[in-house]
Structure 1
Amino acid sequence: MPSTILRRAACLLVVLAVLAALQACSSGDSKTGAAVLNPSTLSSTIPVTRAACTPFGAAPSVVQAALDGALNPSCEPGGEKLERWADSDGTMRDACLFEPAAASTAHPLPLLIYLHPSLVGTDLSLDVTNIRSQLETADLSGDPDRPGFIMLAPYGRVGTRYYPLPDQDYSPGWDNWYRQMLPDGQERRVNGTTYAANVDAAAIDHYLQLVLAQGKVDRRRIYIMGWSNGSAMATLYALNRPQIAAAAVYSSPDPFGAFNDPCVQQPVVGKPKDDTELQLLNPQLPIYHMHNACDIAGLCPNSLQLRDSLASAGATLIDDHIIDASLKDVAQCNALCGTDPLANYAGLDAPGGYAANLPGYAIGTVNHLRWPSSRTVDLFDFLRDHPKP
């Protein structure tokens, strides 16, 4: 009898080991901690109906190499500049890492990925927020014995953006217009053509992998935050990365369509019918979005378009907060600052856009360029309350 029990126990252990191995193969982690995505399960045919577009939106951003090489972050004060890394285009990428003294493998802390706005980079944008100053004290864990957080701040590139002048091709920013978002730089073959991954997303993946490898991060609490173009990239990135627990962003344009975007797309949770739709890989991501009732270039209705397009697709319901000049919540956008759901584009090719929305380009710009410091706690609270299960 004892030998029978031992044999059964041994068999059970073998079965459990096999099941564990199968589970690791079928739903294990990618290098960045996301559920493994098999490109063969995604659509290999996506009809392209617009000559200027790919199945994943606009063509990849064109980098201004000379300017891009001259601009990079110092990570001061208090940050570590991580080793430079060449993306698949050959562009050297940068990122800053900020760690509180308490961070250790025995004391893992939440990780906050911060994406800077365009025009200005990591250094200046963090200088005018109160995010970094709370590195040791903010409650993103819900555990009084684990205050503080680790912050990873990747740096964008100087390249093509579809925004009003002067926020175009000559300052650092993020490409949220080319939306092939498979993780870890995976290519995707559609319509017989191989499409590279978005290199900005791949750069974030790379630096996230480096930080996770240190073993100091609470992997249930990997969060992302951004400002303006950084918010658009944060939203696009996190909606396609299952390892991201939640996003909290400020004043984000719709990453799927704003201003003069030549390839607006509707986000969907299933297979896209054609290039006018984009399948999301993490569609139920919790998102907190704070934006101004009078925002730059009439951006408020565009922010609501993002909320509504995700909701209509059966994706996440954004926790949307419209704020006035005193940073208090209000019920609706200020129509004097714009009513166009794509916002009001203006540039050298459309100078009349400025005159068409003077309040948006004047008052809205002032509002857009100030960080809502007294409300940072609301962003942090939302993140803390939305860890991964």
Structure 2
Amino acid sequence: MPRSRPGLRARRTSTPAPPGLRRGRVLFAGAALAGAAAWIAAACSTPSSGVDGGDLLGVFERDAGAGTAAADGGQPRTAAAQKDAGARAAGSTGAGAAKPPKPPEARPPSEGSCVAEQGQPGRELRKTLGRPPCRGAQVLETRDAEGSPRYACVIAPSGVETRAPLPLLVFFHAEHDNPTAVDKETGLRKLGATWNLTGDPAHAGFIVLAPQGRAFKNPTQGERERGSKTYTPLSPFDAEFTGDGNVDVATVDAFVDQLIEKKLVDRRRIYAVGASYGGHMAATYAMMRADRVAAFATFGSNAPPAPWACPGPPPPAMAIYRACDDMFPCESVERWLRARDAQSAQTSFLRLDEGDRDEPHCALRNRCTAKKGAINHARWPKSREADLLRFFAGHTLAVSADATTSAETAAGRAR
């Protein structure tokens, strides 16, 4: 029987079918196509009618307005960009998102803190943290306004003392980490030795400053509200209080000033990046120091607690997040992207699956278990760090490269 099929096909192709039979075949094929189309339409209508709407949050919630939250500064998406919503970042390796490198955009610095003051100072500490094990890195030390010792790891290219000032990345670790996360979780040490953020071959490399957070005793109400159903960690930094007396902001200022005073930092290229609650602090620091930070990036974070309060858009930002995240769900990040889009803020984003590949939409709730979401949240997207650095390379601050300290900047504002 199997051997008879080739012969049957040969006879059919060698002998033209009668006209009536051909017409019958056409009608049969048309009916089959119509039936298939009806079946597909019915299948496509199933999720919206047979699945709880909460399970689809993030798939259909993202409206057209969010599509402009991209590196093009709020411009409408192209057709290619609309096809691939998983990656909208300058220089992204995602399909439909790669762009040729452009000259960096120099943003005029905003004067003073650009967030509305909110929250309460003086959070109670559970304990005072000791000196972190910064292997192969310099340790900076200072005392904060409350008298506690504070530390930061500094990872710099070799011979940095004899070179022209280099870009600076301020890395805010997540709640379950410390400054050693730069080595444990990321590849920033290796990239910092050679990656060029300036476009000048003579100035390749960058410095990483990783301040150590604090051990707070209790979460704030805001942290409780933003936590997941199963886990409410304590933030390692105080992103809730945005007044002039924010201890963590002042501490980071002191560390940056130490590097500036040594003529190591290119003041046009200071960037902030953070993971999870460290991402909240990266965003808060960038907005409270919009006259110092050129751009910022977050991983696994949604909107920072304090809103932007200055004229004009907030600093450029890149949001990297998972389609399935138990701590800061995908849809909560995209609400932040829409809010930034409404402010005409330059925003890039990468929505990733568990393998760091571009994901076209948020995961369905019933496909994103608590365990999977927790693992995704904690996994730094190491293979997408090139996208992060290309984003930073595209933004500078329109100030003199000759660095000034935060105290000198504040004195200039007072005058």
Residues 13-32 of structure 1: matches in 2 within 5 Å?
Answer: none
Is residue 2:84 matched to residue 1:75?
Answer: no
Preserved CA contact (<8 Å) 2:300 2:328: no
| Compared CA separation, residues 327 and 62, structure 1 to 2 (3 A) | same
How many residue pairs get aligned? The number is 282
Distance in structure 2 (CA, Å) of the matches to 1:379 and 1:198: 28
Preserved CA contact (<8 Å) 2:129 2:215: no
Preserved CA contact (<8 Å) 1:61 1:175: no
**Aligned equivalent of 1:202, options 250, 256, 269:** 250
The CA deviation at 1:98 is 1.5
Cross-structure match for 1:179: 242
CA RMSD of aligned residues (A): 2.7
Is residue 2:295 matched to residue 1:246?
Answer: yes
TM-score, scaled relative to structure 2: 0.62
| Compared CA separation, residues 230 and 360, structure 1 to 2 (3 A) | farther
Residues 47-196 of structure 1: matches in 2 within 5 Å?
Answer: 56-60=117-121, 62-65=123-126, 67=127, 69-76=128-135, 78-85=136-143, 87-104=144-161, 106-124=163-181, 126-159=183-216, 160-161=218-219, 162=223, 163-164=227-228, 166-169=231-234, 173-180=236-243, 187=244
**Aligned equivalent of 1:224, options 272, 277, 300:** 272
Distance in structure 2 (CA, Å) of the matches to 1:178 and 1:101: 37
Matched residue type, 2:396: P
The CA deviation at 1:110 is 0.8
* Partner secondary structure for residue 330 of structure 1: coil
**Aligned equivalent of 1:379, options 367, 372, 388:** 388
Kindly provide the CA deviation profile for residues 106-143 of structure 1, in whole angstroms up to 9, marking residues without a partner as x: 42211111111112111145312111122211122222
| Compared CA separation, residues 297 and 335, structure 1 to 2 (3 A) | farther
Cross-structure match for 2:375: 366
Distance in structure 2 (CA, Å) of the matches to 1:179 and 1:360: 34
| Compared CA separation, residues 61 and 321, structure 1 to 2 (3 A) | farther
The CA deviation at 1:294 is 0.3
Distance in structure 1 (CA, Å) of the matches to 2:117 and 2:199: 38
Preserved CA contact (<8 Å) 1:224 1:248: yes
**Aligned equivalent of 1:334, options 360, 363, 368:** 363
**Aligned equivalent of 1:237, options 285, 290, 314:** 285
Distance in structure 2 (CA, Å) of the matches to 1:146 and 1:245: 18
* Larger of the two Rg values belongs to structure: 2
Distance in structure 1 (CA, Å) of the matches to 2:157 and 2:395: 22
Percent of residue pairs identical: 29
Preserved CA contact (<8 Å) 1:115 1:154: yes
| Compared CA separation, residues 320 and 70, structure 1 to 2 (3 A) | closer
User: Which is worse superposed, 120-129 or 224-233?
Assistant: 120-129
Distance in structure 1 (CA, Å) of the matches to 2:193 and 2:141: 24
The CA deviation at 1:35 is 6.2
The CA deviation at 1:153 is 1.0
Preserved CA contact (<8 Å) 1:297 1:360: no
Cross-structure match for 2:329: 299
| Compared CA separation, residues 299 and 383, structure 1 to 2 (3 A) | same
| Compared CA separation, residues 287 and 109, structure 1 to 2 (3 A) | same
The CA deviation at 1:147 is 1.4
| Compared CA separation, residues 79 and 298, structure 1 to 2 (3 A) | closer
* Partner secondary structure for residue 124 of structure 2: coil
Kindly provide the CA deviation profile for residues 285-333 of structure 1, in whole angstroms up to 9, marking residues without a partner as x: 1111110000123521111122222332x25232122111221222321
* Partner secondary structure for residue 203 of structure 2: coil
Higher helix residue share:
2
Distance in structure 1 (CA, Å) of the matches to 2:158 and 2:335: 41
Cross-structure match for 1:324: 353
The CA deviation at 1:91 is 2.6
Kindly provide the CA deviation profile for residues 37-65 of structure 1, in whole angstroms up to 9, marking residues without a partner as x: 3x9xx99xxxxxxxxxxx73332362324
Residues 251-270 of structure 1: matches in 2 within 5 Å?
Answer: 251-256=300-305, 267-268=307-308
Q: Higher RCO, 1 or 2 (CA under 8 Å, sep at least 6)?
A: 2
Matched residue type, 2:297: A
Cross-structure match for 2:16: none
